[in-house]
Structure 1
Amino acid sequence: MQPIRTFDDMTAHLAGLRRVCRLAVVCGSDASTAGAVMRAVEAGFVEALFVGDCAAVRQQPCVSAWSGGRVSYIEAGSQIEAAELAVTMVRQGQADLLMKGLLHTDTLLRAVLNKEWGILPRGEVLTHIAVAQIPSYHKLLFFSDAAVIPYPTQAQRMAQVGYMAQMLHAFGIDEPRIALVHCAETVSDKFPHTMGYGDICSRAARGEWGRVIVDGPLDLRTACDPVALAVKGITSPVGGEADAVILPDIEAGNLMYKALSLFASARVAGTLQGTTAPVVLPSRGDSLEAKYHSLALAAMSLN
């Protein structure tokens, strides 16, 4: 498998797999969610299961005009009921992916994280992986966490590295390069999260997450720019060619996600990991295209 370097490569790869993922869409009656879902259905890698106010979903032109099959409807009387039904479908193996539509994030996450019938296994870490196609970078850049974990513990950060390595391998990158990011390239007790970077690098070198290169602390420029790395006289196995960066906290992650799309004309996508099925949890401000590519990213992460 050749490494996937663009969003077009990603969707073409999914089409070539001829694998149809069953997608439970919770309250997908808004134009951008319905449009993204129907685009994925038309592309051939999704079967849509709309859960919620089905009459409202059918009012969307992209849905009402579709006659190609692979779309079904499950009625629910409220957002809470829709979230619980969709999560139950995933838990019972009736759906492979879960997507948030026009409902509060907390409503869906309460169902996802329910201790009795939710879809986050005991001991797993819920985290967010985003990917950006940036015009000025020569390949996709993945990063975590922009949406879920405020200040990752050492154990949570190790889980982030593990999920990231799995995702990068799914994108055909045999030996992905992951940078542990800080504002400088030195460990400091003033920034406690950097104190654990050495242990993560050692675990990666021992093969804990398969074939992967992990190094840090690096700042974002030395992680992604070999010239900056050379100018600073730093030697790193990442070599200024990071495939992914693990960011110190949610503030850095969220800022990066929004700054890339707002100021760098990047195309972005994201998905939750750690659950038994990937969860697409878009922001209200995400475009139809971003939601579509998030669906594709989630489909890529399926085993």
Structure 2
Amino acid sequence: MPEERKTINDFKLLIHLLKERKICKRTVVVWPEESHTQEAVCKAVHDGFIEPILVCSKQTMEDYAKKNAFQCIIAESPEDAARKAVELIRRGEADIVMKGFLNTDVLLRAILDKEVGILPKDTVLTHITVAKLHEYPKLLFFTDAAVIPAPNDKQRRAQVQYIVDLCHAFEIECPKIALIHCSEKVDERHFPYTVSYRALKAESETGAFGKCTIDGPLDLITSCSVEAMKIKQINSPINGETDALIFPDIEAGNLFYKTVTLFCHAKTAAILQGTMAPVVLPSRGDTIESKYYSLALASLISK
């Protein structure tokens, strides 16, 4: 009989699965010049799911890489480090990119370079977060908190496909995807994206995104609360048990991300999708734990 696979519903189970499957990915760490990145990398190495390649300064090589016996490539600057990291991915010598202590736009410039970058032509780049909140019974996936300001129809379709695929990687057989708005009404005049929500829902019913259930527009509370669905008498296949949230724009996604981390102390992992290899793109203010979980997430989906 085929092995029965359990849904990965928290980060501890994710780490256990990586160890059980003996997954270990070559991870190029770009400019790891501060302690949080260094500690997250050491923890992931200790748990066996990454093999790091540091692209760093001479000082970091002496103080950190040699001390831990990590493979190291010297870079003269953050820009040089970003270019060298992307080159490793293009040559097939690394599986994952992790951003260290450099500005996001520096790394993105190298990733998006039309000639030597790692975003295939006509491919959408987006950002997905996975969060574990104390009061929610399962992991909550959402997009986009960092990359696309106001998704067009093509970008929103890609966001849906990426998040469905990621849910499947977490062994969620038929993920429930909520298209988020401030209400449950389509409003073409004030909120034209709600019209595209209706189109996405229709597409999903044809199987365009694979096995999933999509509904919207829905507000956040009804998406994530069975009780709220009942009180508002909303009939939705989501039934207040959403696995993933598609936000209308970066402002909504970013505010949600910062709210759940600051006020709800959510545990999070986040990656870029669309690139030739998963990219771990933490904020410089993210915790060691968040960076560690992001490495685990990238390791799970890396080909």
Letter in 1 for 2:256: M
Q: Which residue of 1 aligns with 2:148?
A: 149
The one-letter amino acid paired with 1:40 is A
Q: Does structure 1 residue 22 correspond to structure 2 residue 21?
A: no
**Using a 3 Å threshold, how does the CA distance of structure 1 residues 39 and 54 change in structure 2: closer, same or farther?**
farther
**Separation in 1 of the partners of 2:42 and 2:101?**
16
Deviations 1:271-298 (A, max 9, x none): 0000010101110110111110111111
Tell me if structure 2 keeps the 8 A contact 1:54–1:73. no
Task: Measure the CA separation in 2 of the matches of 1:65 and 1:229.
Answer: 55
Letter in 2 for 1:114: D
Structure-1 residue corresponding to 2:185 = 186
User: Structure 1 residues 4, 58: CA separation in 2 closer, same or farther (over 3 Å shift)?
Assistant: farther
Report percent identity of matched pairs: 47
Match of 2:300 in 1: 300
Q: Which residue of 1 aligns with 2:158?
A: 159
SS at match of 1:74: strand
- Deviation per residue, 1:100-142 (Å, 9 max, x gap): 1011111111000000010000111000000110000000001
Question: Counterpart amino acid of 2:285?
Answer: G
Q: Give the match for residue 119 of structure 2.
A: 120
TM-score by length of 2: 0.96
After TM superposition, give the deviation of residue 54 of structure 1 in Å: 4.3
**2:61, 2:74 within 8 Å by CA — same for their partners in 1?**
no
Tell me the equivalent position of 1:237. 237
**Match of 2:252?**
252
Cα distance in 2 for partners of 1:57, 1:103 equals 17
Does structure 2 conserve the Cα–Cα contact (< 8 Å) formed by 1:129 and 1:164? yes
Deviation at 1:265, TM superposition (A): 1.7
Partner of 1:42: 46
Classify the secondary structure of the residue corresponding to 1:109. Answer: helix
- Equivalent pair of 2:23/2:299 in contact (CA under 8 Å): no
Q: Kindly state the Cα deviation for residue 221 of structure 1 after the two structures are TM-superposed.
A: 0.6
State the partner residue of 2:268. 268
What do the CA deviations read for 1:195-243 (whole angstroms, capped 9, x no partner)?
1111111111111111011110000111110110111111111111000
Shift of 1:301: 2.0
- The code of the aligned residue for 1:52 comes to C
- Cα RMSD for the two superposed structures: 1.1
For residues 220 and 58 of structure 2, the distance between their equivalents in structure 1, rounded to whole angstroms, comes to 45
Q: Would you say 1:90 and 2:92 are equivalent positions? A: no
Count of paired positions: 298
Cα distance between partner residues in 1 of 2:125 and 2:222: 28
Tell me, what secondary structure is at the counterpart of 1:59? helix
State the Cα distance separating 1:57 from its structure 2 match.
4.6
Moved segments of 4+, more than 6 Å: none
SS in 1 for 2:272: strand
Q: Counterpart of 1:109?
A: 108
What's the CA shift string for 1:169-213, capped at 9, x where partnerless?
000001011100000001001101101111111111111111011
The amino acid that maps onto 1:66 is: N
